[in-house]
Structure 1
Amino acid sequence: MTNYQAILNTKKKGGGVSAFLLKLLALISMTIDHFAAIVILNGKLYGYSTEYFQMAIATEEGHRLLQIYRIFRIIGRLAFPIYAFLLTEGFRHSHDRKKYFFRLLLMGIVSEVPFDLAFFNQVYNFTVQNIGFTLALGVLCMEGMHRFRKNVFYKWAAVLSCAAIAELIRADYGALGIFLIAALYNFRKEKALRLSSGAALSAALSYGSYCFAALSFLPIAFYNGEKGRISLSRFFYVYYPLHLGFFYLLIYLGAKITA
């Protein structure tokens, strides 16, 4: 074992970053990202209209909001890799993986209408499906990897199948999102490879945002394997659809007030 690997595997009681802190960081990052995409872009700048967007960014206030929007979206790139990492940890320690899968799938189904309203101002839009479906496919992918762990061909066929489904249904982050989850699970016992492969795939996911998502592996590197004092294990399932609906409501009320 290299010195680097030894350092990475070292844990100190009470030190490092807990699952709670990682979840909190991902939640804050995601909220900032969605506030920018929904409230700033769709509500203030874009108005779900290309013509409106061109007029809005021509103003001083619009230009300033556009810069804030870009910064917030870059910050938001931290969220998915952390959620992908926590998904693999949750899968490893889950007592009922079937329930784990169906909870995420249900969250995806419940969230789809508020997601489409917030991002597209439509009750249903097939352009992209929310992250609940990506995470549910990630669990399905890891289950396939676990079941076929002794058969390399079937193991990676399961990964490719889930990646293909992600592309077919246009799940958020698509095949690359599934490959990230698969890599984090596959190298779960080799921390250096887990971090490096995760950072590389995250950089690819965020190439349009200066590969900022790769930085999410800095706090992940200090993960201590502990849950933390507070558990957010069920909070995300409720928060995700609610915050999307809330941000859309802000746009709707804002339009009513200024109409």
Structure 2
Amino acid sequence: MFIDHIHEMFNTVGVPNWVDWFGRPVATIFFFLSVEGFIHTRNQKRYMTRLLIGFWVMQIGNMIIQHFFPMGDFALINNIFGDLFIGVLTMYGIQQISEGRKRHQQGKVWGGILAIAIPFIFGAITLVAVTAIGSHAVWAKLIMLLPSPFIAENSFMLYLGPLMYLVRKKRSWQMLAVVALAIISTGFNFSTLFTGNFQWLMFLAIIPMYFYNGQLGRSMKGFFYAFYPLHIWILYLLAWFMGVGH
């Protein structure tokens, strides 16, 4: 992840494209771990709240940094917390629908449908607002605090998480889903595998997925929540001070 973000910030000053290869499996691993986290957490709502707060903090931080330290046309869109929040919220919706159907509780079913629909509702609000008032208006900036797949770092690819949740009882199916999406990400243009779009390298995530034993390791969530935004902001500021994009 760190190496990938070095490429993102400094690719215009000579960091080679092959450096980007290292980061392609990272988001997929995060999505897989979000499934595990959602399944095993003691408090699902607290888990979602933590991700939402992480999204807000990083979104606001990105806006502030880019306002005071603009770097040409470069847009600081990194915010995996938004992707993870939408994915986990969707998993929660799927769970509510399943439980509601089993217990014949229509309220739960409709609540689950609403949970799945909320990011799309937010996305529609964002698109309409930005079209109407422009992307640089203050209200447009505030609307960008609504998590949706339209502004997510990985766009609709974030739904790989909920897909892996649906087949969570079969690790082989989860890995097959990753491989299938990796193939789709090539656009079936295999002539540029190592010269253009490297997203297909996300399939390498199946290696740690295969060896994952399902056991809880050392908790590093506090470190991750801090390290993820801080290292991106530091690399961005370093690039700004070096004159990248000026």
Distance, in Å, in 2 between the alignment partners of 1:93 and 1:239 is 23
- Which position in structure 1 is the counterpart of 2:164? 184
CA contact (8 A) 1:36 1:73 kept: yes
CA distance in 2, matches of 1:198, 1:111: 27
Aligned partner of 2:149 in structure 1 is: 167
Note the C-alpha offset of 1:239. Answer: 0.8
Q: 1:136 aligns with which of 82, 85, 107?
A: 85
Deviations 1:72-123 (A, max 9, x none): 22211110000000000000011111111111111111112444547x937x
Please give the alpha-carbon distance, in whole angstroms, between the structure 1 residues aligned to 2:112 and 2:89: 13
The match for 1:53 is none
Deviation digits for residues 130-177 of structure 1, max 9, x if unmatched?
A: 221111111110100111115599799568636634334x11112221
Paired with 1:195 and 1:249, the residues of 2 have a C-alpha distance of 37
Please tell me the residue identity of whatever aligns with 2:7. Answer: A
Rounded Cα–Cα distance in structure 2 between residues aligned with 1:196 and 1:155? 30
Between the two proteins, what is the percent identity of the paired residues? 27
Q: Which amino acid aligns with 1:161?
A: A
What is the root-mean-square deviation in Å for CA atoms of aligned residues? 3.2
Distance change >3 Å, CA 93–CA 107, structure 1 → 2: same
1:24-62 alpha-carbon deviations (Å, 9 max, x no partner): xxxxxx111111111x13xxx2xxxxxxxxxxxxxxxx5
1:177-206 per-residue CA deviation (whole Å, 9 max, x = no partner) reads: 12x011111111112212111332244356
Distance 2:20 2:118 in 1: 27
Amino acid at match of 1:167: P
* Greater displacement, 197-206 / 80-89: 197-206
Q: List 4+ stretches of structure 1 deviating above 6 A.
A: 152-156
- How do 1:216-231 and structure 2 match up within 5 A? 216-228=205-217, 230-231=218-219
Letter in 2 for 1:91: F
CA distance in 2, matches of 1:176, 1:83: 12
Q: For 1:129 and 1:210, how far apart are their aligned partners in 2?
A: 16
Kindly indicate whether residue 45 of structure 2 is the aligned counterpart of residue 98 of structure 1: yes
The equivalent residue for 1:242 is: 230
Structure 2 unmatched runs, 5+: 103-108, 124-147, 188-196
Q: Identify if the C-alpha distance between structure 1 residues 236 and 206 changes in structure 2 by more than 3 Å, giving closer, same or farther.
A: farther
The AA in structure 2 aligned to 1:105 is L
Partners in 2 of 1:126 and 1:254 — Cα distance? 17
Q: Structure 1 residue aligned with 2:19, among 72, 76, 86? A: 72
Cα distance between partner residues in 1 of 2:179 and 2:207: 9
Distance 1:232 1:163, change over 3 A: same
2:62 aligned with 1:82, yes or no?
A: no
- Greater Cα offset, 214-223 or 79-88: 214-223
SS of aligned partner of 1:214: helix
The DSSP-based 3-state class of the residue aligned with 2:229 is helix
Query: Could you tell me the TM-score, scaled by structure 1's length?
Result: 0.66
